[in-house]
Chain A
């Protein structure tokens, strides 16, 4: 059994109720649970600038070989966001992926707001992660995706109440993927692999806001053919998140 986790984060402190929260703590849990590599995100939202929090993630990933997921803010304020040169470097040379928070950062993904950043993401094939939990309705995201077929979009933390929508998005638009953190629908992996294909599903745990055990067990007792299990467990991660970039 081996896994690569497309939706893993860490905090700079340990919030009450979370058993493993800091980078070192989460990394240890990964090692104990057959997770060889992760896409890491700094989920701490206070005490540091976004650039500093992202820089910490890049440093951790250089050390452990993981993929940095960087919080992306639109270029509205030059002091908090990246320049085009910086973003191109991060997306290409550093092999970073990015995460937006349409609701938490009040920054929905639109052309007028993200401007040239969308072009950089499309050109670099850097995955853009967005949590389905930040939407009550995926229509605005789907409409945006229709205009940007080359953009690689990973829908994280899927919401079963929107399962008709997120499945349709993956089916209808190219380069849209989901990950397993919240796949709690009945017979989820088998049902979704049949509907959208195992090549569209990435293993993800959602640590440290939740444990990885649910996902490990779901994979372990999954009733898919071995080749499809391997796609979900780590091969899709290698193709979409690692992208063959040497880190």
Chain B
């Protein structure tokens, strides 16, 4: 039976699905209404929709909060469950505390990498504030997941070119793959040109690219599935992959294998 048919029958138990970009915790910094849900309920919803495990990001780490404390909370949560990995957090204004925390966590079995969100942290990829952090991640082979959106000058995908010029093999996941069309096209170009640049497909809803066409613009092993919940609904991006006409083998890669190969560990 095809993956599409399994999805239509709500029988996804044999399809491995890992959500590589999953916000969790209190939504303190958001300027939009987000349906409140407990961590347990949020993870249970993911399961009901077909997702096996997630890579959590502490919602409270964004913006003018004590990010270190929020990441500690997230690590405790991940350790208490069997369905969750975690990203650490970095922002330039809390440099010392967060770099110390990243160093302490980087060998943790549930560690996925570090999330950065220049827009929410009032930072800018181009102003040098991330230089030391990027160097550390490149040297230690730590994946960096960055919120990218073409219309936001502080975190356009192409801004990573300056880091890739110095560290061409560093692992970068372009969150939302730049969102709108120009950003998506840049993200896919960079995924073609650089060995370890990946496209996180949530957010590409506004790119006027159907997934059947999108996968022709970059190598198949460069597309990563994620939902961006709880900013976004659990189901739309999942449906884009599961119900599309791309081959089942490619669906398996996008839904789980590509991120496993990127972080070098079995996730599901």
| Chain A: minimal CB distance from B166 (Å) | 32
A1-22 near B? 1/0 per residue, CB < 8 Å: 1000000000000011111100
Which of A17, A33, A187, A210 is in CB contact (< 8 Å) with B37?
A187
Contact yes or no, B208 A218, CB < 8 A: no
A177-190 near B? 1/0 per residue, CB < 8 Å: 00000111111101
Which of A1, A20, A217, A223 is in CB contact (< 8 Å) with B239?
A217
Which of A19, A186, A191 is in CB contact (< 8 Å) with B213?
A19
Residues of A within 8 A of B239 (CB): 213-218, 220
Q: Tell me which of A103-111, A140-148, A158-166 binds B.
A: A158-166
Contact yes or no, B237 A160, CB < 8 A: no
CA distance A216 to B206 in the complex (A): 17
Contact yes or no, B231 A213, CB < 8 A: no
Residues of A within 8 A of B128 (CB): none
CA distance A167 to B35 in the complex (A): 13
A15, A186, A218: which has the most chain B beta carbons within 10 Å? A186
CA distance A1 to B37 in the complex (A): 28
B130-168 near A? 1/0 per residue, CB < 8 Å: 000000000000000000000000000000000000000
Contact yes or no, A211 B233, CB < 8 A: no
Contact yes or no, A221 B240, CB < 8 A: no
| Chain B: minimal CB distance from A209 (Å) | 5
Interface size class of A (residues with CB under 8 A): 20 to 34
Contact yes or no, B35 A218, CB < 8 A: no
**B232 near A: Cβ within 8 Å?**
yes
Instruction: Decide yes or no: A209 and B208 within 8 Å by CB, A185-B32, A186-B34, A187-B35 being known contacts.
Output: yes
| Chain A: minimal CB distance from B38 (Å) | 12
Contact yes or no, B33 A163, CB < 8 A: yes
Residues of A within 8 A of B244 (CB): 211, 213
B32-48 near A? 1/0 per residue, CB < 8 Å: 11110100000001001
Contact yes or no, B210 A19, CB < 8 A: yes
Contact yes or no, A33 B210, CB < 8 A: no
CA distance A164 to B211 in the complex (A): 30
Residues of A within 8 A of B263 (CB): none
Residues of B within 8 A of A33 (CB): 243
Closest 3 CB pairs of A and B: A217-B239, A214-B236, A19-B210
Contacts beyond the supplied A211-B244, A221-B234: 10 A-B pairs with Cβ under 8 Å: A17-B181, A17-B208, A17-B210, A18-B209, A184-B236, A210-B205, A213-B241, A214-B240, A218-B233, A220-B8
